[in-house]
Structure 1
């Protein structure tokens, strides 16, 4: 199971001045992306459902940066997780070729589920959306909810409590 990494540079509030909402500060991890043409709609802005794909990209990058290896830490143990709930609040549009950061942090943690919270901010600092997903740990054989393994639970609690993360990743893909 992964270990809690040390060090890192907080992603902050994306350069937007005067933000006080807890949704917009204290995101320990940021993953840089660029809007692809196929992610936009007829109005020339990112199609609304794609923000959930952006959340997935951020979630996978964050787990990877924390040292979580999907096959080793879930599949090999007969576990998996599913998304039990997903929410998005739109604030400003993203358009083709805009660079943006998917910022991620751990939210509430329960026995068999945990939340990730996301801020999606254009590279120029404009806050475009906030989102959240609730991951439910499941047994791969029965498909039923099961407890989060102790090692993962400790990792999630550690990074949530300290705001620690491996680094402020700015990957361009």
Structure 2
């Protein structure tokens, strides 16, 4: 993913909120690879996954035109909540740009917490990090 000019602030650095947008992109693709599409959850099951917690540890500045690598993995899966970890790196110089963690809760069409469908839970639990990597953002 390349940092676009519109994503930078007056200092020429990627604006901090864009990191979460980039993580959303990575999370959506990761779920798609697991066979779980947001669109299917929303349209087919009336479910939404709402971000209830986000932690970002900024380690280095991402600047305009930097090429970034964003890795996403499942850290924990419960009946109503899933937690993802992310690593944003700049391969050109090997720098860690940020580490991120988000937790999402399943909501029904009335915006009430609900359980994830069994098939979704199975696909996600299979892919969850089995060693529960240490991941401190603070």
When normalised by structure 2's length, the TM-score is 0.88
Any stretches of 5+ residues in structure 2 without a counterpart?
132-138
Q: CA RMSD in A?
A: 1.5
Which of residues 97, 102, 107 is equivalent to 1:128? 97
Q: Runs in 1 of length 4+ with deviation above 4 angstroms?
A: none
Residue aligning to 2:107: 138
Any stretches of 5+ residues in structure 1 without a counterpart?
1-32, 164-173
- For the residues of structure 2 that align with 1:158 and 1:51, how far apart are their CA atoms? 27
Residues 72-122 of structure 1: CA deviation (Å, up to 9, x unaligned): 234211211111111110001111000001100001222200101100001
- 1:10-89 mapped onto 2 (5 Å cutoff): 33-89=1-57
Which of residues 136, 144, 150 is equivalent to 2:118? 150
Structure scoring higher RCO (CA < 8 A, sep ≥ 6) equals 1
Aligned length: 130
1:99 and 2:67 matched? yes
